[in-house]
Chain A
Amino acid sequence: MSIAVKKAMTNRFLAILTFALVFINLVPIGWMVYCSFKDNEEILAGEVAPGRRHNDVAFMEPTPTGFLVGTQDGGVNQLDAGLKLLKHSNLGTFATSYLLEKDTLWVLSSNRGLQAVSTHDLAVLASYPIEEIAKAYGEAWKTLWVNDVAGSSLERMPDGIYLSFLFRDIPGIMRFDPAGRTFLPVAGLTTDKIGLVRHFARQGGDTLSLLTSKGYFRYASLSQTMVKAMPSPAVIPGDIGGFAELDKNRVVFTRGKGALIYDLDGDTTLAVLDAESGLGTSVISAMTVQTPSMNHDSTTPTCLWLGNSQMVASIPLTDGAVDYRVMEKRLPAFPLLGEAVRNPDDVTGNETTNLLALEDGSLLAGGVRGGLALLGASGGQTASLRLPKPPFYFRWRNFLDLWRYIDFGLYLYNSFVVCGSVMIIAMVLASLGGYALARYEFPGRSSFGYSVLATQMIPGIMLLLPIYLMYVNIAKSTGLVIKGTYFGLIITYAAYFVPFSIWILRGFFASIPKELEEAALIDGCGPFRAFFRIIVPSAMPGIVATGVYVFLSAWDELMFAWVLTSEKTYTIPVGIRLFVGNFQNRYDLMMAAATVSTLPVMILFFLMQKQIVSGLTAGAVKD
């Protein structure tokens, strides 16, 4: 009895050991696939946990009962005045922007288009998908890479809701007419004229201020004219990161490490604000603070968040002048806001993205990753909240990028063409050769067998040098281009794999009973007919297994392909090698490329597993 128990326990232990080995074995592959779905920033930061969409606060607005807060990922939250979460809904959107109008919250996103959401129950009232918006431009706008849209803008103007996406393929700004439910392109605001729209904001009654990749523009919507057009160099040297309006004549532009306040009437620079230290990151976008006291004539200081690390404050001085200051959010002592934001990391999690000044002098701060904090008028944090985490999502982006940034589709196609052709050629020739070796006695049979084995021992590089030189010289002397064509690579591979395949197939042919073909020969078949009718079908499992093995080996070949292909015929390993050189630290793309190039052979192996295993082991053990 005890021996049986001991035996069972040993068996159990060994089974566990086996599966532990299996697990460790699979970890690298799992890590590869996992990282192909990760954001590179997360990989570089060493974050192992699965990525979520970022729910940075993008929009905050006071409502009669409290606040309405929208996040980048389409999270809409109803909060009471004490920052208690009343209602939450996630629209699952990308690059979301919001516009509040009475009881309707307009939500614009790159994947769901324009949606109208009720502020009462957060239900979607109306939805205008992206295809419908795209119709405004007819043929001109066909593709939208949802993940590529860096941002969107949404603004109510007298003649409708203006909307745009920060994306290179969008032909311009559109106007949505809620009554007629139609989207129309806004004349004069096309991408080729004004560039890519980073941000726009309503200014005064009917003018729209736009910051674009080409500069600053002001557009009167009612008269449909451009009031002001300032190309970038006139405004600020270098790249403009974002902008915000201080009042109707003053605009803040931000650059890499600072900001500049510009007087639009006089076209003069009022103040150049330079953040001294700690501003490594560039300012990405500007965010206006939608506050009632958004006017520097008022007695209270106002502040604008320019990006994820800077803010501009305008502080009225006693003599009527205004002092503008750029402040960094990590500043230890915040002169303007007192103690409350002494350490913004504690308040909102990481970084503050949005500030809202309230009537009573208190301040609502919204941060990255859904952090919210209410800062009292006298300083000090009165309430804080972290918004619900966004759901996990399947991040296809790396695979899409792979197809667009590098010619991965072409490489995949080339690999299939080359490996498929090699497989077919090798199998046809090796069947003939293997059969001849297995069935016929002829002079030179054994020396052929040995020479086949011997070729496997030549280092590839030894053959590669002369083959390369031969191809180059043939092209130079006869004009017949072999290097860089499919043909060149295919015959080179075939020459390498055929002898090897012959050697393996010989065993399969030898195992077919001789009586089969003898019967066929008696029936009046010629040797060729007998071969194709009788022998090939019965050796098919072996031929298939060897063929798949040849395919897998050719798929794996880098050195010959590296030297013998050119831009149009790069196979996957060559393509990956080139791309790794160009994108040194893009581990996300590397792993996506690795996954995509492993997948076809994995599938092939799975389908053919039985044949390959039996074929290989038959060759090794019995032969």
Chain B
Amino acid sequence: MTDSELVRECLVGKMESYRELMDRYRDHAMAIAVNILANREDAEDACQEAFLKAYRSLGRFDANRSYKNWFYALLSNHCLDLIRKRTRFKGFLGRFRYEDPAAVVAPPASSASFEELDFRYLRPLTPKERTALFLWSQEGYSTAEIATILGCSPNTAGVHLHRARVKLRTLLKETKNVRP
């Protein structure tokens, strides 16, 4: 059964069809969210919210388009929105000398089981650069497809990808230089 057929079934109230869609894209969703947010727990929360958001928005899905790309766009937008909110909030609190520790949204500490994920090359990149790099390297997307996901022009997507690759190369060179 195709994604579009499953969506049609969801729209007539067949919840099991949405479970099928979730199972199909669960791994994809986590991979893209982990790469954008560079934190596994945040990525799980983002995916959970995005699946709910997607379900509520199914009525707006165009069956002629790819469900995967539609969902990727929704999820990456959600992740970028989370980062923007957190950055604004931290910036707002940073203006004041006194910071109530309880009011500061601290990133959740990674549990030991997640330590194997290595984010050292991702964190220096901007969220959009991480998204572009992930879609290009892991999903084989072209700049035009990346642009669809990021909601920008292909040229802008190309710039994000280019910058990501330049930064990554610099980081890799630095890593080689510090090796004994």
- A and B are partners in one complex rather than unrelated chains: no
Contact residues of B with A, CB < 8 Å?
none
